[in-house]
Amino acid sequence: MDRDKILLTPGPLTTTLRTKLAMLRDWGSWDADFNAVTASLRRSLLAIINGQDSHVVVPLQGSGTFSVEAAVATLVPRDGHVLVLDNGAYCKRAARLTTLMGRRCTVVAFDEATQVDPAALEQALKSDASITHVVMIHCETGTGVLNPLQAVAEVCARYDKGLIVDAMSSFAAIEIDARKTRFDALVAASGKCLEGVPGMGFVFIRKAVLDACAGRSQSLAMDLHDQYVYMEKTTQWRFTPPTHVVVALHEALAQFELEGGQRARLARYTRNYQTLVAGMTRLGLRPFLDPAIQAPIIVTFHAPDDPKYDFKTFYAAARARGFILYPGKLTQIETFRVGCIGAIGPHEMEQAVQAMGLALQDMGLQPPART
């Protein structure tokens, strides 16, 4: 096979040749040309959420989890109290990192096949006035469920609680408009729906809470307030930036805008999702979630109920045909996940379904196709 394997994962993703080629030049981290790229990138990111008047954006080296941790440490006071809405693996990670940073943490748990419930959040806020911040995952990629951001934001605003949103797998595909939805911080990353490469996160911080964030973080490298102040003063990153990641994202953003922005990207991912589910249904494979709460980002499927099925074997057979799948994240039942995002379209999704069908045939789980 003369092409790269297609990544049917929630990040890293398959990228375009243009994005790959952007990484072939070396950049000086303090050079004026690179600083101009960073400034342009920050402006473009703010425009995606219409946040130019209400928020600043602070880029940070590292994976998306680095930026989630940085957001919690920067926005939540040392004596703050965080409530995490938990309906999946990444929610549990947010609760763990909050606790590890010494912030008090309460978890309100929901079944992983359901959305988080704004009414349960409201009841928790009524019951405990010490809660200062709420953390929610917009698209919980452990299952693919889309959580109700607007409804949660309205509850937080009504009780004047800070809302920190992990929008890692939704940003730039699912609409998020800072003019309509109040949040203190929103976190995303380069290697997701913007179709850049991994290695950089970024956090949108509401201007109204920015000054109060000074000195809160116990980390030097992950202090977003310090990073913001330094960037505003010098136009530079405090510490060595991931230069190739930054310029790749800058190029990916140009393509994002050329495609038509968030609405166009959502439309393509939705077509990918529909093609995938229709094809997998033909193979007898059922999605785990109710379609009403499924984001067109990554789909969890029930594994075949057959002793001959083994994910590693299935994965290897699909991989040999050019497609990289993702294992399931559920603890109670066996599943696997297939991503719908990246620089791919319905044609590649049809090919992926065919590859998975042939993988199942290899394992004796599908009859050969009729000719």
Query: CATH number, domain at 284?
Result: 3.90.1150.10
Task: State whether 85 and 180 are in the same domain.
Answer: yes
Residue ending a domain, among 189, 224, 258, is 258
Task: State whether 67 and 196 are in the same domain.
Answer: yes
Kindly state whether residue 368 falls inside one of the protein's structural domains.
Answer: no
How many residues are listed for the chain in this entry? 371
Place of tokens 């998020």: 176
- Whole-number pLDDT of residue 274: 98
- Whole-number pLDDT of residue 3: 72
| Residue 43, number of CB atoms within 10 A of its CB | 12
Kindly state whether residue 233 falls inside one of the protein's structural domains.
Answer: yes
Task: State whether 82 and 223 are in the same domain.
Answer: yes
Q: Is the pLDDT of residue 2 over 70?
A: no
Which residues make Cβ contacts (< 8 Å) with residue 145, sequence separation at least 6?
A: 87, 88, 112, 113, 114, 115, 139, 289, 293, 294, 295
Which residues make Cβ contacts (< 8 Å) with residue 232, sequence separation at least 6?
A: none
Q: What is the pLDDT of residues 115-168, one digit of tens each?
A: 999 999 999 999 999 999 999 999 999 999 999 999 999 999 999 999 999 999
Q: What is the mean pLDDT of the chain?
A: 96
Rg, C-alpha atoms of the chain: 21
- Whole-number pLDDT of residue 371: 42
Task: State whether 196 and 292 are in the same domain.
Answer: no
Kindly state whether residue 349 falls inside one of the protein's structural domains.
Answer: yes
Residue ending a domain, among 258, 277, 298, is 258
DSSP H helices in 76-175: 89-100, 118-127, 149-158
Kindly state whether residue 324 falls inside one of the protein's structural domains.
Answer: yes
Place of tokens 């698209």: 139
Kindly state whether residue 51 falls inside one of the protein's structural domains.
Answer: yes
Average the pLDDT over 240-251 and give the result: 98
Q: What is the pLDDT of residues 269-278, one digit of tens each?
A: 999 999 999 9
**How many domains does one find in the chain?**
2
**Percent of the chain residues topping a pLDDT of 90:** 95
Task: State whether 165 and 280 are in the same domain.
Answer: no
Range of the domain at 239: 17-258
Q: Is the pLDDT of residue 370 over 60?
A: no
Kindly state whether residue 367 falls inside one of the protein's structural domains.
Answer: no
Closest to 192 in 3D by CA, of 75, 110, 295, 327 = 295
* Distance in angstroms (rounded) separating the CA atoms of residues 338 and 9: 6
Amino acid code (one letter) for 268: R
- Whole-number pLDDT of residue 330: 84
Question: Which residues face 137 on adjacent strands?
Answer: 166
Q: Is the pLDDT of residue 329 over 90?
A: no
Q: Is the pLDDT of residue 1 over 50?
A: no
Task: State whether 79 and 189 are in the same domain.
Answer: yes
Residue ending a domain, among 258, 273, 289, is 258
Task: State whether 31 and 78 are in the same domain.
Answer: yes
Task: State whether 272 and 290 are in the same domain.
Answer: yes
Task: State whether 277 and 145 are in the same domain.
Answer: no
Say which DSSP state 268 is in. Answer: H
Kindly state whether residue 104 falls inside one of the protein's structural domains.
Answer: yes
Task: State whether 329 and 192 are in the same domain.
Answer: no
CATH of the domain at 127: 3.40.640.10
Reported confidence tier of residue 366, pLDDT bands at 50, 70, 90? confident
Q: What is the pLDDT of residues 268-309, one digit of tens each?
A: 999 999 999 999 999 999 999 999 999 999 999 999 999 999
| Residue 218, number of CB atoms within 10 A of its CB | 12
Kindly state whether residue 286 falls inside one of the protein's structural domains.
Answer: yes
Task: State whether 179 and 326 are in the same domain.
Answer: no
Task: State whether 332 and 184 are in the same domain.
Answer: no
